[in-house]
Amino acid sequence: MAQTSTYPIQCPECKSQQDEVLYDSLDVGKEPDLRKRLIENRLNRVKCNACSYEFYVDKNVLYNDSKEGWMIFLNPHPLDKSKDAINEFDKVLKDMKDLLPSDEKMPEVDLVLSRIELVERIFVREANLDPRVIEYVKYLIYTQNLDKFMPEGYALLLNGQECDQENLCFVLQDVETKKLESLLHYKRETYESLVDLLAQDGELSLVNQLFPGPYSSARSYLIQDEI
């Protein structure tokens, strides 16, 4: 079941404060309506009692699909603070493991650093795609199109709602304006061939070299590689 807590919240518009009940974790396997609310950006939204301004509260959330057996942990951080997010994630993961019975296996848990990454990872997991291979596909798209869009200025996101049997669909998002721009298609057959090829190379060792930790992000890798 979902877990909530009460937090003191300051309105970013008028600076007044109020207490709000926000979600810390949700299990969409038991409460599927919470998935829709999250996808539509209606989860952890607050309306100011003083000025009626509505805003999203960016906070840690554990997304659990108990029916499918996977979890995603949202730990909001900028890309240049990803190491801090990973350290916090490791502590959370340890606490979760300590609470499990000794004979129960820990579900797979992904780490994401923003709400938009959380939504994307939900689509990736629900489509039974490999998150690391999807990030590798993004890496290939970025490096082949650096004259058109740079990772510093554009995020490349899987658009799960536009994917079909023939193509995976990616959308470019302007990082500064948050505006969604052009769509890019990637042959699903090519993705599947890539999965097979990488699997033959020491259980995705190439992907593990690019994304060795719990946070897999082609954009983060490319930006950090340039620093």
pLDDT of residue 106: 86
Contact predicate 93/107, CB 8 Å? no
pLDDT of res. 117: 97
Position 92 confidence tier, pLDDT thresholds 50, 70, 90: very high
Going from the C-alpha of 122 to that of each of 60, 91, 163, 206, the distances in angstroms are 16, 23, 14, 24
pLDDT per residue as tens digits for the range 10-20: 999 999 999 99
| Three-state SS at 41 | coil
Determine the 3-state secondary structure of 19 from DSSP.
Answer: strand
C-alpha to C-alpha distance for 153 and 126, rounded to whole angstroms:
28
pTM score of the predicted model: 0.93
| pLDDT for the residue 120 | 97
Rounded to whole angstroms, the Cα distance separating 134 from 89 reads: 21
Average confidence (pLDDT) over 113-138: 96
Number of Cβ within a 10 Å radius of residue 84: 12
The closest of 25, 38, 212, 218 to 122, measured between CA atoms, is 38
**Of 80, 76, 88, which is closest to residue 44 (Cα–Cα)?**
76
Q: Where does the pLDDT of residue 227 fall: very low under 50, low under 70, confident under 90, or very high at 90 and above? A: very low
Average model confidence (pLDDT) across the chain: 93
